[in-house]
Amino acid sequence: MLVLVAPGQGAQSPGFLNPWLELPGVTDRLTQWSEAAGLDLVRHGTESDAEEIRDTAVAQPLLVAAGLISTRALLADSGTGPVGAVAGHSVGELTAAATAGVLSDADAMAIVARRGRAMAEAAAVTRTGMSAVLGGDPEQVLAHLEKLGLTAANINGAGQVVAAGTAEELAALTADKPEKARVIPLKVAGAFHTHHMAPAVSALETAVADVPVGEPDVRLVSNKDGDVVGDGRAFVRRLVGQVASPVRWDLCMETFRRLGVTALIEVCPGGTLTGLAKRGMPGVKTLALKTPADLDAARELIAEHGTAE
């Protein structure tokens, strides 16, 4: 079985959409989505510098657009038929929802634009951020974060936890690391997936209130608890609440293993989740879809590990 996954914030890099614009119809599609998002996705994906695309209000729509462009190119002839499951990390869940048919591409872009703005506004209230904690005993790491007042915002598995909190709490973590662990400050603009994002939940509830929702046509795995969610509206409710609650990618990977996943493709800009899979899902073949040059290899992986169910 093959699972298709979409990365979250931080995976973007300057100019990463340039090679995708060489594919027929991509510029037109991005222009349409730019109208839905109220953002010039073509410019930000090709010309904007690292600081500009670090802005949460820019990064999130850009990532979902990139994920959908690469997904549509990959599955153009087959749809989700050969794909056994889909999932996304944090904002990547919107990519996954559109891939599974729960949201239209245009609605996903409008929602992610509101999500990005709301999270940026919430992040501006207090100086907050996130740091990756690599290694150490998992239980000891979580206890140490709690002691410092930090939230384990992303429990990613494969020895990686992302801590989130105020600048002061993160400084204390740098000075007092968990035993046998490394701490790496992340270039993100807030304490995402914590109580600091509570105001964004209300904004997102309003944004999805009247959006048409379909039923998933492929297994859709949720960040909340790794469950497969078969009801479209239930998944959208989870998308809303997830803004202020931890991402349990470790449980998603457990679900992939339980389902019998043998291959994983991470859509553009791939790399982060394939890295976690290599460490946390040994024996599973992985492929990061970075540019159109990777499409043939990705299609070969689908032909080898895809299913017609």
| Alpha carbon separation from 26 to 64, 69, 252, 292, 306 (Å, rounded) | 14, 7, 31, 12, 26
Q: Could you say which of 90, 131, 144, 305 is catalytic?
A: 90
Q: Which two tokens stand for residue 99?
A: 């891939």
| Alpha carbon separation from 255 to 26, 93, 102, 154, 275 (Å, rounded) | 33, 16, 20, 17, 17
Give the closest residue to 287 by CA, choosing from 42, 300, 110, 247.
Answer: 300
Q: Which two tokens stand for residue 162?
A: 């992302």
Q: How far apart are CA 241 and CA 197, in angstroms?
A: 10
Q: Which two tokens stand for residue 17?
A: 């959409």
* 78 part of the active site: no
Q: In terms of C-beta density within 10 A (0-12 exposed, 13-18 middle, 19 or more buried), how is residue 58 classed?
A: buried
Helix (H, G, I), strand (E, B) or coil at 103: coil
Sheet holding 181-185, edge to edge: 151-157, 160-166, 128-135, 181-185
Whether residue 100 contacts residue 80, with contact meaning beta carbons closer than 8 Å, is answered with: yes
Whether residue 99 contacts residue 80, with contact meaning beta carbons closer than 8 Å, is answered with: yes
Q: Which residue has the tokens 């290599």?
A: 278
Q: Could you say which of 193, 196, 222, 305 is catalytic?
A: 193
**DSSP type of residue 293:** G
The CA angle 111-123-32, to the nearest 5 degrees, is: 25
Whether residue 243 contacts residue 206, with contact meaning beta carbons closer than 8 Å, is answered with: no
* 196 part of the active site: no
Within 10 angstroms of residue 271's Cβ, the number of other Cβ atoms is 14
Catalytic residue numbers read 90, 193
